[in-house]
Chains A and B, each alone.
Chain A
Amino acid sequence: MNSTTMPPLEVDDFTVTLHTPTLSVRPVDGVSYSVQAGEVLAVVGESGSGKTILNMAPLDLLPVGVDAEMKGSVRFEGRDLLNMSTSELEAVRGGGIGVVFQDPLSALNPVRKIGRQLTEGIERHLGLTPTQAENRTAELLTLVGLPDPKSRMQQYPHELSGGQRQRVGIAMGISGEPRVLIADEPTTALDVTVQAQIVELLKDLQKRMGMAIVIITHDFGVVSGLADKVAVMYAGRLSELGSVRDVLIDPAHPYTRGLLQSVPSLTVPMDTKFLGLPGQPPNMAYRIEGCAFAPRCIEARADCHVNRPSLLSVPHSASDRLAACPVIVNQFA
């Protein structure tokens, strides 16, 4: 396989166990998917379902003090991130893989000028001189829709609005010209009109730069507006994976159905409370036998509580689509 056909990101049977002094939890449990070049994958799921850990743990970007044990593989352009040395991983971070964070206020250093926070990464990854990096930064800021970049670069984060800060955050994420951009809820901290602008910006950048994007979101508006594929997570596991068309219009997994029913309209941002779903997600500190969603599922059979369902291909879908629910997949057939 050569690098033009190899998917830039391949996640294979990836499992994360977090160890704290008192207990261990498994927020990511046997997850597999891949993202093609230029493809946008949205990862959705309730709060606490493991979306952030899934994407940040392989890059070693979890908060300090979180001890993550990882199994399986997460390959970036064929190389397993989990086996990389610290310096190899540092070369990938900000270079091949860019990251955009949820809260642009806390993600930016409050006492450093914006220009410097951008140029340092550009100098590091693109091998530019300080002057070239400054010019490149000015271009980037213009690209993400911040006019008058030279004076912006002299400002501190608190001197910008929330939307402007997130534009800076996005400029930072793409500054190393990454092939994969990981964006963890980039619009959640912003108000609704600004959210739409940021989605437009990401869409535009994705087209221009042709990079793959993995976007974590609670917002089905973002999913339908930006993504090609959706991965639905529940309790650390993938419950459904397929094209946006298939999953949003004709969801297969009972969890996805519940999730979509709880959204009044596809364009309205969804709250983290899922009104349409009775019950609570399981506690991931305990080993879950059978299907993690079974206790809340209206379709559940006795078997569901015992055997863990694997991802099965859903028949009659517009494109490849997988769902971890044998009951429904049999109904589709």
Chain B
Amino acid sequence: MELTRKILEGDVRAAARLMTMIENGASEARAALKSLYPHTGSGYIIGITGPPGSGKSTLTDELTDELRKRRKTVGIVAVDPTSPFTGGAILADRIRMQRHSLDADVFIRSMATRGHLGGLARATNDIVDVMDAAGKEVILIETVGVGQDEVEVVGTAHTCVVVSVPGLGDEVQAIKAGILEIGDIFVVNKADREGANRTATELEMMLHMAPDTGGWLPKVYKTVATKGKGIVELVDAIFEHKAFLDERDLRKKKGRERSERAFLTLLQETLAARTIERFKRNGSMKELIERIADRELDPYTAVEEVLESIGL
């Protein structure tokens, strides 16, 4: 396939095009993803999550800089929220990363959530795969950074970096509430601000109390992303975690889990879509729903009937 070949050869335009098709749910995308699939699985995926304004984009930019110094090719997927009122979005993470835009070995892609919850967009996983197939050795995912329930990134990333800033009592609470379990590495960014040490200590204490998750002890790092401070140590820590996973064959395990989730999601979506399509061809959806609404039929029976009618 032409598109796949181009992507594998490193054609940026082709990869970018496919990403759009994926986001838009175009049917051609599926074929391309099929043939790209054998070429995925070697990229190392890092998730960067944390509250808005904590410095995720700035850190992503600095991490990229350091990774390039270590001669890694880098893909970046930056997710920003879609406005629930207008369906539009302003994707501005890129502002902080523009200095890499002329580097052929860095590919930056901004995406909007388009209503998807959990900190990523629906298509983020597939877009990461495209970057992976296009040969990006490290792929950084910057999550939306709005809520506490941004845990979806764990399912995608090999190493998950949770970013916080000094002095935000509430933020630390928020981390406690949900994100503590997902972090492999914790960062107190803006360490040039007052209270960085205290926040770091608080985090460390919370981590000590957390249940053991198989031998990896998450550590807390302090960074000043705007000045590039603490970045080398952070990248070292990420690679340390990678080594840990590889030693225990955990990366494969994570990969398997990701494959399973991806498979199940795809199966669900495909099944639902096919079912609806086929049912639409055979019966009247509108009529059925009216009957449910009028309490002539309950939704449980309706589903059973529909599945039966198409032989499932």
Question: Is this pair of chains taken from one and the same complex?
Answer: no
Give the A-binding residues of B (Cβ under 8 A).
Answer: none
